[in-house]
Structure 1
Amino acid sequence: MSTWTEHVMWWHVYPLGFTGAPVRPASPATDVVHRLDRIEGWLDHVVRLGLNGILLGPVFASSTHGYDTVDHFRIDPRLGDEADFDRLVAACRERGLRIVLDGVFNHVGREHPAFRQVRDLGPTAGTAGLFRLDREGWGPGDEPRVAVFEGHDALVALDHDAEEVAELVTAVMLHWLDRGVDGWRLDAAYAVPPEFWARVLPAVRRRHPEAWFTGEVIHGDAVDLVRRSTLDSLTQYELWQGIWHAVADRNLFELQHALGRHRDLLATFVPTTFVGNHDVTRIASAVGTEFVPHALAVLLTVAGVPCVYAGDEFAMTARKEERLGGDDAVRPEFAPHPPADDDLDPAAREVLHAHRALIALRRRHPWLHRARSDVLHVTNTALVLRTATGSGAVVTALNLADGPVDLPAADGAEIACGAGQVIAGSLTLGPRGWAVLTSAGS
């Protein structure tokens, strides 16, 4: 695989929400509305942040939220058409931005033509082999007896033991890689047998050896899954939980534990790391706007492939709710162009500046991609973390308390991000302060 993946940092976008496309009622759209150019209007902002990749949520034709696919080979008409997509790819390329697509290959929507054929013709339909069907007790015109994804009746499960499913997924991946994308986020990868990915990916990599594949995994044995699947990376939900929950609860021992678990993964793979995405409460709502830089400082100074969820850089707030439409608030429509810095309130402007500073720091220290992190000091409300390789070291210090704190600076001599004072190996942070230190001259 190319070393580009050691340098990429993603801006994660949920296109349907971002562009203001309607996600209900539940029926595939037919009229093409050209909305993808709304994303183009933000690409220069992504570059100014210091990021160099766009991780797109679902863009294929679907019935509602994008994860109930009806055609993997067609851009969702609510977003535009293939020409719109090609222009977006070209605009990214002009700016040196990589692109990863969201591949929903565990299930499809009930309105997918292959499933509609099963519904019309019964279990002997030519497309029946694509699905995990109980073939007894129903016939043409009946509702098929089929497995669904985690109780969601609208999401019918594909049969990953079937060769035609492997052929379909291979064809979809190659089609869009040929069209200019750089890799795939594999939705619900934890629900797919790992051996399925190991069957599919060799053929894809033969044509696109530099492609990158990360799986959405929220639980399970990550090391075993990577070894059996041959995926390059997995989403690091355990670290996400450790960061926000430790900050919100003022219990940085929880973060220390998560960082130890995170470090253990690096012998096998480099995880995809984040503090926000389209499925979770916004980080500013989870920890409070004042503590977003603390969370971000950890994200950008530990090993991983970091992702910033669009809007988190402006301290956008929203809570995920467990109900129909409970994701809508964290997947809002964006304006055609980003706001000017001077138009932001002071708290949002501070969060934006923290993003730029910390992303720039990581850009200057690309060895952080796979570096080892060790906690040097921890209390409920203070933590000092040193991340290092033979190439260098950075020291990240957090103070969640309402008063100042003196902490060991380790070999950190100069404050690269945040604020504090270093004197004779000791770092003083102000109330609710944070800082990232580097050694002299680095």
Structure 2
Amino acid sequence: MSTDWTDHVIWWHTYPLGFVGAPIHVEQRDGAVAHRLGAMEPWLDHIVELGLNGLILGPVFASTSHGYDTLDHFAIDDRLGDESDLVHLVDTAREKGVRVLLDGVFNHVGRQHPWFLDVEANGPDSPHAGLFRIDWQGWTPGDPVKSDVFEGHDILVALDHESAQVEDLVVDVMTYWLDRGIDGWRLDAAYSVPPAFWARVLPRVRERHPDAWFTGEVIHGADVDFVARSTIDSLTQYELWQGIWHGIADGNLFELGHAIGRHNTLLAEYVPSTFVGNHDVTRIASAIGADRVGHAVAVLFTVAGVPSVYAGDEFGWEAVKEQRIGGDDAIRPAFPARPPLDAELDEPSAALLHTHRQLIGVRRRHPWLVRAHSDVVDVANGTLIVRTAVGADAVITALNISDAELRVPGTAANELVAGDAALDGDHIVVPAGGWAVVSTERSA
């Protein structure tokens, strides 16, 4: 499924609790309402100036710690503010032409959720007992409740997606916030929820909000069948992300070429959500080196998909995800009170910001790229040539991570639109370690 506006949206992906400098861990909280969410508003002009027109907000609902352990889907986390703060942010974004997507955690809730506490206190007699997957066999009052949890995380209690109560809850949450001006939902851990559940919920939501868009987090490979059975509009394209960073980092662009081929197979069913960074992974500059970020972003913006930029990647921010408690903190930092002026940036950051502006501009001038197939024209360990086209319209992306000049013949390219290559007759000449995006039409 698709709505017209999503053919033109490019997202700026944020993690609000980190962005505004809110305390993440339980022991750091004081329980007071802090109206921090407004600190994101000065960055809306930065989004527009980059050429983007969408804002993905990570979890904003009341929770215990990192936002994915929800306590109340109808309340804004007191570390961010209250409902009026979110509505003001959404309204201000809309005035600037920026769509807003919320992060919906509908697979599980926090163990301290009031409804689960009531179940622990009252057992099967609790009016909320039907919300959770619980093994009541042998249970007696006072015993711990044996509930399923999310991927071994004891603090994340799984919801029962066969329950009509859960279905009604999710429909009510989605429509509540869509009524307040948001444009759609990122469905966290969508892969852990049966597709049939989404297929029951989403049509009910679309009855009231037919233009809403839903993208599901799927981390084990995009699945055409999952989309068909769930009616979700899009899925996160982790396979392409893996091919981009891993192929570049390991000097094996065959891996990236293979991932692009696989990417094409998804387009008959849906348009994937594409990215080179998000709030769950090591930043791209740390994964492949700041001098290779342009190569990654060139692929992101010249192959099909609904792309997103993880906030800060456009400046080349670095951080490594670690597998420990608090291991996400570094990749989810606090942001300055305002965007830096170009003159305030060091040379590498300024160069990457320019690169993002260039490539987002390419995407804006070639909107057909959202659904276009990409052909791998030539590939070697250190070089990759990709042609993405619809009819006579084409862009050619040339990556060179080798230490030798790359000459690409016979491309019919006649305009360099991004990168550091040169055109020599019908050749693209890409310097060692360089990249380029060229067009076959001067009107691009």
TM-score interval, smaller chain: over 0.9
Pair 1:86–1:317, CA change in 2 (3 A): same
1:394 aligns with 2:433: no
Counterparts of residues 214-363 of structure 1 (less than 5 Å): 214-220=215-221, 222-363=223-364
- The CA distance in 1 between the partners of 2:310 and 2:7, in whole Å, is 19
User: Residue 42 of structure 1 aligns to a residue in which SS?
Assistant: helix
TM-score normalised per structure 2: 0.98
**Residue type matched to 2:429 in 1?**
T
Question: How far, CA to CA, are the matches of 1:361 and 1:132 in structure 2?
Answer: 48
Q: Is the 8 A contact 2:393 2:441 kept in 1?
A: no
Equivalent-residue separation in structure 2 for 1:279 and 1:418 (angstroms):
28
Counterpart for residue 405 of structure 1: 406
Helix, strand or coil: the match of 1:122? helix
Question: Aligned-pair distance for 1:391?
Answer: 5.8
Amino acid at match of 2:408: L
How much does 1:220 deviate?
5.0
SS in structure 2 at match of 1:362: helix
2: CA distance between counterparts of 1:26 and 1:63? 10
Please name the residue that 1:375 is paired with. 376
Q: Which residue of 1 aligns with 2:424?
A: 423
The offset of 1:413, in angstroms, is 1.5
What RMSD, in angstroms, separates the aligned Cα atoms of the two structures?
1.2
**TM-score (norm. length: structure 1):** 0.98
* Gap change, CA 1:143 and 1:160, over 3 Å in 2: same
Distance 2:289 2:368 in 1: 30
Which sections of structure 1, spanning at least 5 residues, go unmatched? none
Q: Deviations over 1:70-121 (max 9, x none)?
A: 0000000000011111110111011000000000000000111110101111
1:384-418: per-residue Cα shift (whole Å, max 9, x none)?
10000126110000110123221235232210001
Hey, what does 2:87 align to over in structure 1? Answer: 86
Is 1:107 paired with 2:108? yes
Please tell me the residue identity of whatever aligns with 1:300: F
Q: Do the aligned partners of 2:107 and 2:192 also contact (CA within 8 Å) in 1?
A: yes
How far does residue 439 in structure 1 lie from its aligned partner after superposition? 1.4
CA change 1:409–1:102 in 2 (3 A) is farther
Query: 1:218 and 1:58, CA in 2 relative to 1: closer, same or farther beyond 3 A?
Result: same
Q: Residue 171 in 1 paired to residue 172 in 2?
A: yes
Q: Distance in 2 between matches of 1:123 and 1:161?
A: 17
Q: Which residue of 2 aligns with 1:196?
A: 197
Offset of residue 425 of structure 1: 1.8
More displaced stretch, 312-321 vs 215-224: 215-224
Which digits, 9 at most, give the CA deviation of each residue in 1:277-313, with x for residues without a partner? 0000000000000000000000000000000000000
Distance in 1, matches of 2:27 and 2:105, equals 18
Residue-pair matches, total? 442
- The residue aligned with 1:49 is 50
Q: Which runs of 5+ in 2 are unaligned?
A: none
* Contact persistence 1:395–1:409 (CA under 8 A): no
Asked if residue 32 in structure 1 is aligned to residue 33 in structure 2, the reply is yes
Q: How far apart, CA to CA, are the structure 1 residues paired with 2:145 and 2:28?
A: 19
> CA distance change for structure 1 residues 275 and 409 in 2, over 3 Å: closer, same or farther?
farther
Give the alignment of 1:57-206 within 5 angstroms: 57-206=58-207
Q: Which amino acid aligns with 1:72?
A: H
> For structure 1, which segment, 28-37 or 392-401, has the greater mean C-alpha deviation from structure 2 after superposition?
28-37
Q: Is the 8 A contact 1:28 1:70 kept in 2?
A: no
Q: Which residue does 2:210 correspond to in 1? A: 209
